[in-house]
């Protein structure tokens, strides 16, 4: 049975793209530790380990949570320090975030913090932010999982490959044997000429379930898929900010059903941390 990558984007509810500019610091009540517990329990019950793409600010405020995640055998990876998208950072600022992240994780976890994977906040790796790939390679990263291979209102690289590939540092939608990083793009299912997003988040919560699982079965026959979940989108206590109905639906729709859907995928497919999936398929050594 094919191995798929399970990834948890560990950020606070106030880091979400449509929320982050609207929450003043005084109202930033942390919920990630509480929101994560049901997910950790579910993974433990199913004997599944995942990759945790962690925001540095969350790790800084909750070092005990990092130790709990690492002790359970999950992979620690980086989701930026501040959760600002790449298109809001200069290469110097991004480099500083990576240094800050590594120092913090070394302090908290020592040798256990063997970080080689990165996911850009808001899937912000695209043509204009391709500079980030060289920065990642210089900081010892070996894989990236930030490409969303279709156009969406907020992000997307519509011509990118669908399976993992060696990403060119000059054209992010090109496979390049000399590329320094492996890219694991978000999973989309091809229906005729259309690409349908089935990688997690909003799509996991809102898609008709039979269509979602049919797409997963179909993708699973040819390549490893990736699923991403945010703790805040599975948690009843997540504060809901006022926003237009279609954005509210995308951000908060069916949060009550998200954990159940994750559980059903865990029952039906085989999951592992991303570095394990990439190594298993020959993309990474060791």
State how far the Cα of 181 lies from the Cα of 167, in Å rounded to an integer. Answer: 6
233 touches Zn ion by CB under 5 A: no
* Two structure tokens written together for 119: 């996911």
Q: What Cα–Cα distance (Å) separates residue 141 from each residue in 14, 34, 84, 243?
A: 27, 30, 19, 37
Looking at residue 200, what DSSP letter applies? B
Is 116:75 a contact under the CB 8 Å cutoff? no
Mark the segment that binds Zn ion (CB under 5 A) among 2-10, 98-106, 134-142, 256-264: 2-10
* Two structure tokens written together for 274: 């991303």
| Of residues 3 and 227, the one with the C-beta less far from Zn ion | 227
Judged by CB under 5 A, how many residues of this single chain contact Zn ion?
3
Q: How many residues does the chain have?
A: 286
State how far the Cα of 221 lies from the Cα of 236, in Å rounded to an integer. Answer: 35
Please name the helix (run of DSSP H) or strand (run of DSSP E) that holds residue 194, with its range, or none: strand 194-197
Closest CA to 10 of 35, 29, 43, 44: 35
| Of residues 11 and 173, the one with the C-beta less far from Zn ion | 11
| Of residues 58 and 266, the one with the C-beta less far from Zn ion | 58
- Beta carbon of residue 7, minimum distance to Zn ion (angstroms, whole number): 11
Over the window 240 to 259, marking each residue x when it contacts Zn ion by CB under 5 A and - when it does not, the resulting string is: --------------------
Closest CA to 9 of 137, 138, 146: 146
| Of residues 121 and 273, the one with the C-beta less far from Zn ion | 121
Over the window 91 to 130, marking each residue x when it contacts Zn ion by CB under 5 A and - when it does not, the resulting string is: ------------------------------x---------
User: Binding Zn ion by CB under 5 A: which of 6, 9, 167, 258?
Assistant: 9
| Of residues 20 and 275, the one with the C-beta less far from Zn ion | 20
Mark the segment that binds Zn ion (CB under 5 A) among 10-18, 175-183, 204-212, 273-281: 10-18
11 touches Zn ion by CB under 5 A: yes
80 touches Zn ion by CB under 5 A: no
* Two structure tokens written together for 197: 């997003």
| Of residues 9 and 144, the one with the C-beta less far from Zn ion | 9
Could you list the residues that contact Zn ion (CB under 5 A)? 9, 11, 121
């Amino acid at each position: 049975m094919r191995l798929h990558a399970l990834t948890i984007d560990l950020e606070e509810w106030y880091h979400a793209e449509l929320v982050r500019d609207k929450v003043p610091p005084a109202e930033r009540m942390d919920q990630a530790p509480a929101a994560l517990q049901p997910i950790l329990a579910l993974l433990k019950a199913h004997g599944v380990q995942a990759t945790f793409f962690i925001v540095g600010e969350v790790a800084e405020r909750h070092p005990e949570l990092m130790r709990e995640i690492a002790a359970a055998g999950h992979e620690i990876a980086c989701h930026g320090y501040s959760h600002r998208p790449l298109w809001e950072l200069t290469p110097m600022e991004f480099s500083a975030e990576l240094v800050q992240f590594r120092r913090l994780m070394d302090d908290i976890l020592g040798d256990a913090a063997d970080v080689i994977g990165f996911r850009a906040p808001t899937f912000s790796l695209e043509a204009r932010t391709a500079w980030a790939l060289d920065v990642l390679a210089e900081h010892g990263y070996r894989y990236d999982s930030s490409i969303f291979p279709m156009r969406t209102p907020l992000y997307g690289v519509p011509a990118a490959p669908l399976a993992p590939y060696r990403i060119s540092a000059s054209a992010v939608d090109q496979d390049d044997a000399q590329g320094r990083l492996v890219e694991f793009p978000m999973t989309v299912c091809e229906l005729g000429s259309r690409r349908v997003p089935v990688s997690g988040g909003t799509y996991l919560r809102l898609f008709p379930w039979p269509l979602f699982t049919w797409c997963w079965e179909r993708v699973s026959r040819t390549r490893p898929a990736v699923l991403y979940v945010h703790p805040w989108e599975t948690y009843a206590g997540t504060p809901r900010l006022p926003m237009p109905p279609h954005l509210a639906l995308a951000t908060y729709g069916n949060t009550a059903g998200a954990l159940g859907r994750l559980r059903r995928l865990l029952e039906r497919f085989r999951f592992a941390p991303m570095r394990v999936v990439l190594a298993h398929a020959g993309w990474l050594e060791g």
